[in-house]
């Protein structure tokens, strides 16, 4: 009996030590969080570090969109409400549209720029226009987070640029994604616009899954040095919609690949689901009291082949990509796997544009600014969008953006080379 007690004590000690080590590890290089759920039920299909606090980066803009659409639904504003770019908005760090102070844009166009270009200046413009101030809008964001049960989230700004106490978790982001899908089905198109056209500029969505993964229909990416590469992604197959969250990836390419592997695994797991112990629903996942990992040194420490940004598609070094959603057990905390069967490999295909770019513009909806006035005076030569040959060469305005009386001359946007 004494021997049994000692052995039990030893096991408990080892378990506590392992738990402490896993908590410590998630704050070091290579940390990553992953979560896969069913959109309709909230059922958890895979969870790995899903309740560790994390810096959301531009995935924050999902809550910015949610808060804005709630205001639309409540009748406080409309999609045609004009917002004005303030001095504070214009001063935001890239990625941005680069509009001059005083430029006006409808909420509808602002949301499209927010979700595709991930424009930080537009996020602030929305916040100031809808919430009255950045502080007022942050209060609305946090009130919505509490109402949704996002117990690990605190929002300080509408764009996700680095700020103290601006945190979330994979669990909370999945809850937010479900709410966007369930509460605003009429606005679902905002989450899967593959590209936008502003004047002669065509800007592709940073969420490459939208044009590389079959059935992808959302939602948002993000990157800052402290967080690594984040994504909340959704896809639908045979009427079943899944939501994948990946936080802390090494690059945009790895982020997309891991999210695709999670989704593919979920769609292909139906026949083996009875072998898998239930992981419950996303709202029931127990939060972990810890500090969010800071990946600044790993992501931006100067050892990469090129400076990191949202556009970085750099492939990882072997050590950075050792643990993936494709089936390797992670060493940075508990992982709950769909099954013990070897998961199917899925390789993303080349970009394929299935729809033309969505035209966006400044000015009111009934009198949009002409393309000549809104397009950048010195646009940079851009990569061709797959499936289009004249998208970046045409100097002619888009037909549906030019039918108007002559409005006042608006701002000329800057072309930003860096992103968040």
- What is the value of pTM for the model shown? 0.77
Q: Could you tell me what percent of the chain has a pLDDT over 70? A: 68
Single out the residue of 413, 416, 405, 410 nearest to residue 104, CA to CA.
410
**pLDDT, tens digit (0-9, with 9 covering 90-100), for 341-380:** 334 456 687 777 678 999 999 999 999 986 544 434 334 4
Single out the residue of 102, 149, 163 nearest to residue 420, CA to CA.
163
Q: What is the pLDDT of residue 370?
A: 64
Q: Could you tell me what percent of the chain has a pLDDT over 90? A: 64
> Is 133 among the catalytic positions?
no
Give the integer Cα–Cα distance in Å for 284 and 286.
6
**pLDDT, tens digit (0-9, with 9 covering 90-100), for 217-272:** 999 999 999 999 999 999 999 999 999 999 999 999 999 999 999 999 999 986 55
Q: How confident is the model at residue 14 (pLDDT cuts 50, 70, 90)?
A: very low
Please measure the distance between the N-terminal and C-terminal CA atoms of the chain and give it in whole angstroms.
Answer: 60
The catalytically annotated residue of 71, 112, 117, 118 is 118
**Residue pair 286/182 in contact by the 8 Å Cβ criterion:** no
Helices (H) and strands (E) in the chain, counts: 10, 11
> Is 381 among the catalytic positions?
no
**Residue pair 77/130 in contact by the 8 Å Cβ criterion:** yes
Domains of the chain by residue range: 29-58+170-401
**pLDDT, tens digit (0-9, with 9 covering 90-100), for 270-297:** 655 555 677 999 999 999 999 999 999 9
Compute the chain's Rg from CA coordinates. Answer: 22
Q: What is the pLDDT of residue 269?
A: 80
Q: What is the pLDDT of residue 379?
A: 41
> Is 306 among the catalytic positions?
no
**pLDDT, tens digit (0-9, with 9 covering 90-100), for 111-147:** 999 999 999 999 999 999 999 999 999 999 999 999 9
């Amino acid at each position: 009996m004494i021997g049994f007690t000692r052995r039990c004590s030893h096991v408990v000690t080892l378990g506590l030590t392992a738990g402490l080590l896993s908590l410590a590890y998630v704050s070091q290089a290579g940390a990553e969080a992953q979560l896969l759920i069913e959109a309709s039920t909230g059922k958890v299909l895979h969870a790995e570090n899903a309740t560790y606090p994390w810096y959301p980066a531009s995935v924050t803009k999902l809550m910015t969109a949610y808060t804005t659409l709630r205001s639309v639904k409540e009748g406080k504003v409309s999609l045609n409400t004009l917002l004005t770019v303030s001095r504070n908005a214009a001063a935001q760090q890239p990625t941005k549209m680069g509009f001059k102070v005083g430029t006006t844009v409808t909420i509808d166009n602002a949301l499209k720029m927010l979700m595709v270009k991930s424009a930080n200046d537009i996020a602030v413009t929305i916040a100031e226009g809808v919430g009255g101030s950045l502080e007022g809008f942050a209060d609305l964001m946090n009130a919505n987070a509490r109402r949704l049960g996002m117990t690990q989230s605190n929002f300080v700004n509408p764009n996700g640029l680095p700020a103290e106490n601006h945190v979330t978790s994979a669990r909370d982001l999945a809850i937010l994604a479900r709410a966007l899908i369930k509460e605003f089905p009429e606005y679902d198109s905002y989450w899967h616009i593959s590209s936008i056209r502003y004047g002669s500029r065509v800007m592709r969505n940073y969420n490459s899954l939208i044009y590389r993964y079959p059935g992808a229909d959302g939602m948002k990416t993000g990157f800052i040095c402290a967080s690594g590469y984040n994504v909340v992604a959704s896809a639908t197959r045979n009427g079943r919609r899944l939501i994948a969250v990946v936080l802390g990836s090494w690059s945009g390419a790895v982020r997309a690949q891991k999210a695709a592997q999670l989704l593919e695994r979920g769609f292909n797991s139906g026949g083996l689901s009875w072998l898998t112990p239930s992981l419950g629903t996303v709202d029931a996942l127990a939060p972990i009291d810890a500090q969010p990992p800071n990946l600044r040194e790993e992501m931006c420490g100067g050892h990469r082949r090129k400076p990191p940004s949202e556009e970085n598609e750099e492939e990882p070094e072997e050590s950075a990509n050792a643990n993936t959603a494709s089936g390797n057990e992670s060493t940075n905390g508990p992982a709950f796997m769909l099954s013990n069967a070897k998961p199917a490999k899925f390789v993303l295909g080349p970009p394929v544009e299935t729809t033309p770019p969505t035209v966006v513009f400044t000015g009111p909806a009934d009198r949009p600014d002409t393309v000549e006035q809104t397009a950048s005076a010195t646009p940079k030569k851009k990569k061709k969008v797959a499936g289009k040959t004249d998208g970046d060469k045409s100097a002619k305005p888009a037909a549906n953006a030019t039918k108007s009386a002559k409005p006042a001359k608006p701002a000329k946007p800057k072309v930003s080379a860096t992103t968040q």
